[in-house]
Amino acid sequence: MGFGDYPVDYNPKVHGPYDPARFYGKPDVPFGQVKLGELGSWLGRRNKSPSAIAGAFSRAWWRWQHKYIQPRRAGIAPFFQFTVAAMAFFYITNYGKITRHRNYKYHW
């Protein structure tokens, strides 16, 4: 499988038009239905290769796009999501500077 190719498990005769937000591999038990004793074997069945991780991020991106950005009457939710993500990012990056500006009160 090269960069930009369809997934290996995708068959247009079976699946219809290609959807980048869909996983075309063998279905497994959803994470919400995994019992605590089965968690180790469930994690062992995950594909942890860099291409699989990139594919998971790509599917998540496209699901977010289909839900919040591409509808005809998209609301204001993506703007708030972007704002909160930017606030969290800049808080984390500036945390070292923020902690030096704390006001301490010393009580004896």
Q: Would you state the structure tokens that stand for residue 6, as one six-digit string?
A: 């369809």
The tens digit of pLDDT for each residue in 55-80 reads 899 999 999 999 998 888 888 999 99
pLDDT 10s per residue in the chain (108 long)? 567 788 888 888 998 999 999 988 888 899 999 999 999 999 999 889 888 898 899 999 999 999 998 888 888 999 999 999 999 999 999 998 888 777 777 766
Task: Return the number of other C-beta atoms located less than 10 Å from residue 78's C-beta.
Answer: 14
Distance of CA 108 to the CA centre of its chain: 49
Residue spans of the domains in the chain: they are 12-74
E strand map for the chain: none
HSE-CB of 25 using CA atoms within 13 angstroms: 10
Given this model, what pLDDT does residue 25 score? 84
